Copies of this chain bind each other. A is one copy, B any other.
Amino acid sequence: MFNCDKPQDECGVFGIYSNQKRDLANTIYYGLYALQHRGQEAAGMAITDNDRIKYYKNIGLVSEVFESKINEMPEGDIALGHVLYDSRVKKGENNVVNTQPIVFKGKAGFFSLAMNGKITNCEELRQQLIEEGCVFQTRLDIEVIGTLINKFCAKKDIASGIKKAMDKLEGSFAIVVITTNELFAIRDKYGMRPLCYGKHFDEYYVASESCALDATEAKFVRDIKPGEILQINSTGTKSIYMENINPHPCIFEYVYTARADSVIDGTSVYKARFNCGRMLAKNFNREVDLVAGVPDSAIVAARGFAYESGIPYVDVLEKNRYVGRTFIQPSQYEREASVKIKLNAHRMNIQGKRIALVDDSLVRGTTSKKIVELLKSLGAKEVHFILASPMVKHPCYTGIDIESYEELMAANYSLKEMEKKLGCDSLTFMNIEDLVSCCKSDIMDSFCSACFDKKYYGVDPKGDK
């Protein structure tokens, strides 16, 4: 899946607790680079500088934001970083204030926060804090969280403030907090967003995904558990737990969001996707000449499909490696040409072929339609569209930007209607039980799959539709 008409997770976090002052900015930079797929709108980092915390954040890719600034960051012993996904970050307004992290001055001195996720009761909390005398300068959830932490902070014990604040929050979140002498890695009580940590000698590394640990010297230790607040300081680590823990991580991380070389809650994302592809192949009984995946995210599932079915995997589409944020879409060809430019199509592998085309998921369907058109225009005889996930029928309220039923194809059309709209010869979805069986592990066997089946962390907080 190579464009933006599918759901996007929000953000990636990274943190380091070092045993000594050193150039942490470089390491944070590498970590954020590896997490760039989780957010390309903005990036930021904060580093302790004795009894203060210095930070820099801006709009742009990690490389753009830090190109000229990384050498100006101080040496420090604790640091965090953030990559932002936010479709509202546009020019004109002062959007830098709406990027992460924020550095706060509170009862216990300076502390900084960065988060991946979404607090569903954030506006109620914000209004309550305003009434209590606080003001707010951004639309960020972390501004509310930072204020809550300070409010509940007893004396200079910020850990107590964090524990109490976390118990007030509803929603999904993976949070890193640093003070001038501690680091906290926090995962919501459902474990909705991934978060793990690793070690390298005496240094602790925290990251949204294990692939970011792989980009550094650190070795993976384990995932932060749902509802766990991992406190890291000079005495080592200590786990504090929230109330009402109810593990239901977001299954969409395996389907699309996470990088294939990450391992989340005991399951390799690569393996989960590969197995999805195999599972789909078992039930697929049409005659086709080849299997292909939609780049980049569906390639692995397509490989699994080919492996299981014995049908050859053949490259039909590749992402143009120079397509980026700065791509200009002039008006003229816009709609017609954009897919042609973003994808390199292997005409000769397509012509006259019956193609089993695997994609990870079908949300709005806009790009899928164009891809089918492209393949047909290049002479594909048949295009069988196979999704490595069930129909996306419900909005997500906790971190994925599908917010209304209107935009969901599967919520509005029957399978036959969708086939017709997409122009494909057949359309196949995975069922939810099969998906869960591919994603579960010894340490995690329940998921939030609300976008497919409306079961929001096993419950149903909103009664829409």
A324 proximity list for chain B (CB < 8 A): 63, 324
A215 proximity list for chain B (CB < 8 A): 337, 340-341
Report the minimal beta-carbon distance from A349 to chain B, rounded to whole angstroms.
7
For the complex, count residues of A whose C-beta is within 8 A of B.
91
Interface 1/0 per residue, A318-351 and B, CB below 8 Å? 1111101011101011000100110011111100
Q: Is A150 an interface residue (CB 8 A)?
A: yes
A30 proximity list for chain B (CB < 8 A): 333, 337, 341
A344 proximity list for chain B (CB < 8 A): 34, 211, 259-261
Interface centre among A63, A126, A143 (most CB of B within 10 A): A63
Interface members, chain A 283-326 (any B CB < 8 Å) = 296, 299-300, 303, 307, 312-315, 318-322, 324, 326
Q: Could you give 27 example pairs across A and B, Cβ below 8 Å?
A: A29-B328, A30-B333, A34-B341, A36-B322, A56-B94, A61-B326, A72-B92, A73-B92, A97-B97, A104-B135, A104-B136, A104-B137, A105-B135, A105-B136, A106-B130, A130-B150, A133-B133, A133-B150, A134-B134, A134-B135, A135-B150, A214-B340, A260-B315, A260-B344, A261-B344, A271-B348, A313-B313
B-binding residues in A (CB < 8 A): 23, 26, 29-30, 33-34, 36-37, 40, 54-57, 61-64, 66-67, 69-70, 72-73, 91-94, 96-97, 102-107, 126, 129-137, 143, 146-147, 150-151, 211, 214-216, 259-261, 263, 268, 270-271, 296, 299-300, 303, 307, 312-315, 318-322, 324, 326-328, 330, 332-333, 337, 340-341, 344-349
